[in-house]
Amino acid sequence: MIVDRHSCGGRFAIGSGCYVKNSVNIDITDDVTIVNDVIISDEVLILTHDHDVEGDRLNIIHSPLIIKSNVFIGVRATILNSCNYIGCNSVIGACTVVTKDVPDNVIYAGNPGKIIRKLK
């Protein structure tokens, strides 16, 4: 389901069974796809863009994000635009800064985030 479209062209799609708190901030400069049964806790920040300065010019770098099924994202986690994929059945710990893709079936936590444990 398409919920919103940002002036930079991003689209927001969310599947069934998802729970997203009101205080979540999702940047849709590029596409954000949230598949089914995802829980996103309070004050999570999801970014799909960054800035690059070349001389006197400011360029916007954007990249899409896919959050697969059965993911839990803990309170105050930050997902940077360098992350394009969060795998199925993964858990993102509270206050984690996600700087790269997260594989399926892991607990991922810290600043910067890293795999803490693999899930069965």
- Known active-site residue 51: yes
Rounded to whole angstroms, the Cα distance separating 17 from 68 reads 12
Domain map (residue ranges) of the chain: 2-118
Provide the mean pLDDT of the chain.
91
pTM of the model: 0.89
Catalytic: which of 6, 49, 51, 62?
51
Query: Considering the domain 2-118 in this protein, what is its CATH number?
Result: 2.160.10.10
Query: 18-29 pLDDT, tens per residue?
Result: 999 988 999 988
Rounded to whole angstroms, the Cα distance separating 63 from 56 reads 23
Confidence at residue 52, expressed as pLDDT on a 0 to 100 scale? 83
Q: How confident is the model at residue 8 (pLDDT cuts 50, 70, 90)?
A: low
The DSSP code for 12 is: E
Query: 67-103 pLDDT, tens per residue?
Result: 999 999 999 999 999 999 999 999 999 999 999 999 9
